[in-house]
Chains A and B, each alone.
Chain A
Amino acid sequence: EADIYQTPRYLVIGTGKKITLECSQTMGHDKMYWYQQDPGMELHLIHYSYGVNSTEKGDLSSESTVSRIRTEHFPLTLESARPSHTSQYLCASSGATNTGELFFGEGSRLTVL
């Protein structure tokens, strides 16, 4: 079982609020990722990090921002949430091998009213 944790699991907030989705892993993985997943659709990469102080935007444009101050922690922040941000957000990490296995957290389901 993967040791990667996301909080909160569910969040319902009003438009304009600032939110932070937390993600932590205890596997010592350098690579971490945020994906966005909508029902019936493929996962879309929105942010990734290859190590401390390294963050990059993914394929899907997102108004969110991320930080990587510690290896184990990769939070995602939305400064002003909108209904279009309603989605499932999945955090993942991967180790040093080149097989590319991703270890996912259980997800944060965000609903913006």
Chain B
Amino acid sequence: KNQVEQSPQSLIILEGKNCTLQCNYTVSPFSNLRWYKQDTGRGPVSLTIMTFSENTKSNGRYTATLDADTKQSSLHITASQLSDSASYICVVSDRGSTLGRLYFGRGTQLTVWP
């Protein structure tokens, strides 16, 4: 069964600290993996995309990694800011159907305290 599991479910950190969010997936075949940020009451916004051949990609203070062999991805946030408080959703796309089906994790709820 194709699944996307994220951990931790929720996380509280102090402003300025770093944190790492995890995403494990069983989706096969694999096309790409995206991390989305969803602010409270808003729609998700894409942060980064990882394809099969990519190991690391950065977007400002966000760095995503992908290990396609172990089917794991992480999102590392450096020097956290209050505005980083949000839900971070991992989404995996397969390439096996014309729909290009997307599999969503339940998200990690990050809270940054001052």
Contact = CB atoms under 8 A, between A and B. Distances in A.
* A, B from the same assembly: yes
Interface of A: 2, 4, 40-45, 48, 90, 92, 98-102, 104-107, 109
Contact of B43 (A41, A92, A98): A92
Contacts, number: 51
Interface of B: 4, 9, 31-32, 34, 36, 41-46, 49, 89, 91, 93, 99-100, 102, 104-107
A5 to B, nearest CB: 10
A82 B35 CA distance: 33
Most interface-central of B4, B91, B102 (chain A CB within 10 A): B102
A53 to B, nearest CB: 18
8 contacts: A2-B45, A4-B43, A90-B43, A101-B34, A102-B36, A102-B91, A106-B42, A109-B41
